[in-house]
């Protein structure tokens, strides 16, 4: 990830595993099976994410979905679902 705002959070992340988690979450956000990964609180514990980090990740997610020709209605649904997680991941 080229964004200096957030790239340090992913320095030691298995990005293939991260993609699988994101795929499962997006599937859930669009009405698929229940997400079975770690809770958002546990997954983000110790990161002390701030609003600017959350907003940057949401922006990149929207851009990636657009680049992959996901319909705007689905992007809006996914980002709305992501926005409900803000309290679960910030300042942990």
DSSP class of 38: -
pLDDT at 6: 95
pLDDT at 26: 87
Cα–Cα dist 43/40, whole Å = 5
Ranges of each domain in the chain: 40-92
pLDDT at 2: 85
Token output for 14: 């298995």
pLDDT tens digit at each of 92 positions of the chain: 689 999 999 999 999 999 998 898 889 888 899 888 788 899 999 999 999 999 999 999 999 999 999 999 999 999 999 999 999 999 98
pLDDT at 29: 83
Is residue 89 within 8 Å of 58, Cβ to Cβ?
A: no
pLDDT at 36: 83
Contacts of 69 (CB under 8 A, 6+ apart): none
């Amino acid at each position: 990830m080229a964004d200096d705002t957030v790239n340090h959070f992913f320095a030691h992340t298995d990005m293939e595993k991260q993609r699988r988690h994101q795929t499962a979450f997006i599937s859930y956000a669009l009405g698929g099976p229940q997400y079975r990964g770690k809770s958002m609180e546990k997954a983000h514990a110790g990161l002390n994410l701030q609003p600017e980090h959350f907003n940057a990740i949401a922006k990149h997610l929207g851009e990636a979905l657009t680049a992959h020709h996901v319909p705007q209605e689905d992007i809006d649904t996914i980002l709305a679902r992501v926005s409900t997680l803000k309290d679960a991941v910030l300042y942990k």
